[in-house]
Structures are given as C-alpha cells and as structure tokens.
Amino acid sequence: MRRAAVLASLVCALAVPAGAGEIAALTSSTGVAVEAAVEGGDRLVVTIVPQDGIRLNGRLGVSFEGEDAPWRETLPRIVYGEGDYFLEPVRESLALDAAALGDGTTLAVVFGSCLPDTSICVLEETAVTLAPALDGGIDLTIVSLAP
C-alpha cells in the first residue's frame, strides 16, 4: 500500500483530479476506464470498465487495498468473476468515515486487463487518493501506475 502512495506521487503526469461531488476518471494504458466518485459523503464508488475488446480477468479478480482509516469495511477486498473473465464492468462501493479521513488516504485498485485476440493479461494498478476539500467535501485523484 505504501508503494502505491510513493509511486502515485511520482506519476503525477497521469493524475486525474476531481473536486467534491465530481467523478474522477482515467483510461489505463491497456484501455480500461477507472472511475471513482464519492456518494452521499460516506461512500466511495469505484467502477472498472474495459474498452475496445479488453476483458477483465475474473480469476485474478479486482483488488481494493487501503489503510484502516477511513474505511468502514475490511480491506483488502478482492472481487472475483464467475469465469475466466468478468462479463460486465466491476462496480464496488466502499463505506467510509469522512471524519476519519485526516490529511487523506489512498486506495489501490489492482486488476488484470486481457488484450483482445492474444489473451495476454497485464496486471495494472491505479491509486485513488481521497483528501478533504476546502468546501467540506472530499476531493479525488486517480493515478495510473505503470504495469
């Protein structure tokens, strides 16, 4: 987890920020869209959507890893597909305690994206950073870490 935070600070050119109440989104190097939004001030919703023939590896799953605070859920959490590939986008909602956010936190999202025609799968990692916003909401930044 610490590795993700350090690498996230080094890959600032790929950072996609969003203000409180907005959706932060980016497309990974293999063509997987990762979106994150805070709903109701107490839930982080992350959606992973493969694009253009890319498939998410269901056996590797999608991993969500973070520090204890501010999550009201047990992490790490891994969501697996029912077969070799997920048939639909992966959407995960994590309860959080905004009051326990402090200076901010990072959630690592790791998934296997499988290239069309070759079935070669690449392990990718993104980092979703949450920080208190000046308006009392939560600011988000998504960073794609090189596979």
Q: How many residues does the chain have?
A: 147
Domain interval for residue 34:
2-145
CB of 19 closer than 8 Å to CB of 74: no
pLDDT at 102: 85
pLDDT at 110: 96
- What pTM was estimated for this model as a whole? 0.84
Q: Report H helices in the chain.
A: 2-10
Per-residue pLDDT tens listing for the chain (147 residues): 444 443 443 343 345 555 556 788 999 989 999 999 998 888 999 999 999 999 999 999 999 999 878 999 899 999 999 999 999 999 999 999 988 888 899 999 999 999 988 879 999 999 999 998 888 888 899 999 866
pLDDT at 101: 86
The one-letter amino acid code at 139 reads: D
CATH of residue 10's domain is: 2.60.40.1250
pLDDT at 142: 93
Q: How are beta strands 43-50 and 32-39 bridged, if at all? A: antiparallel
CB of 110 closer than 8 Å to CB of 65: yes
* Total number of domains constituting the chain: 1
Dist CA 107 CA 120 (whole Å): 26
